[in-house]
Structure 1
Amino acid sequence: MNPPRTLHAISDDAREARCDLRQRDIVDDAILLMRAAGTLSALEFLKSHAVDTRIITRVLLDPSKRRSGAALRPA
């Protein structure tokens, strides 16, 4: 007989797991734009590409929650 399986709550990170490669590229471009031209420019760029507000907030205002990627490596 198999032991009972334990159900685990799905974390916010898992729920928002990056599955859209196009959006990943948009976010990476926005981070580069933020470094070059500032947060407002990056914000407008992300909004113009219909990126979800929660993602915009995490990317621009909470760097500790950014996912690792090429654009995030130190220049």
Structure 2
Amino acid sequence: MADPAYQRQDLRQRDIVNHAISVQESSNTMAAIEYLKSRDIPPDVIARVLLEPQRRRGALPH
């Protein structure tokens, strides 16, 4: 389990990022990037979650 201090605290952003990961898996990375950009997710977060999956934060329950 991820360190609680490192887990995402913004539940809205969590849901957006989780949806983008689903978009990436079912469609493609560019579609996921455009989705995240349209939701004002910071570029560093976009790069981390889509291009470096090993660096994703632990999932929080819905």
TM-score scaled to structure 1, two decimals?
A: 0.68
Asked if 1:23 is matched to 2:10, the reply is no
Task: Give the number of the structure whose alpha-carbon radius of gyration is greater.
Answer: 1
Structure 2: tracts of 5 or more residues without a match: none
Kindly provide the amino acid, as one letter, of the partner of residue 68 in structure 1.
G
Asked if 1:34 is matched to 2:24, the reply is yes
User: Quick one: percent identity of the two aligned structures?
Assistant: 44
Larger RCO of the pair (alpha carbons < 8 Å, separation 6+): 2
What RMSD, in angstroms, separates the aligned Cα atoms of the two structures?
2.3
Structure 1: tracts of 5 or more residues without a match: 1-13, 71-75
| Conservation of the 8 A alpha-carbon contact between 2:21 and 2:32 | yes
TM-score scaled to structure 2, two decimals?
A: 0.81
Task: Give structure 1 regions of 4+ aligned residues with deviation exceeding 2 angstroms.
Answer: 14-17
Give the length in aligned residue pairs.
Answer: 58
In the superposition, relative to structure 1, how do residues 65 and 34 fare at CA in structure 2: closer, same or farther (>3 Å)? same
| Conservation of the 8 A alpha-carbon contact between 2:20 and 2:36 | yes
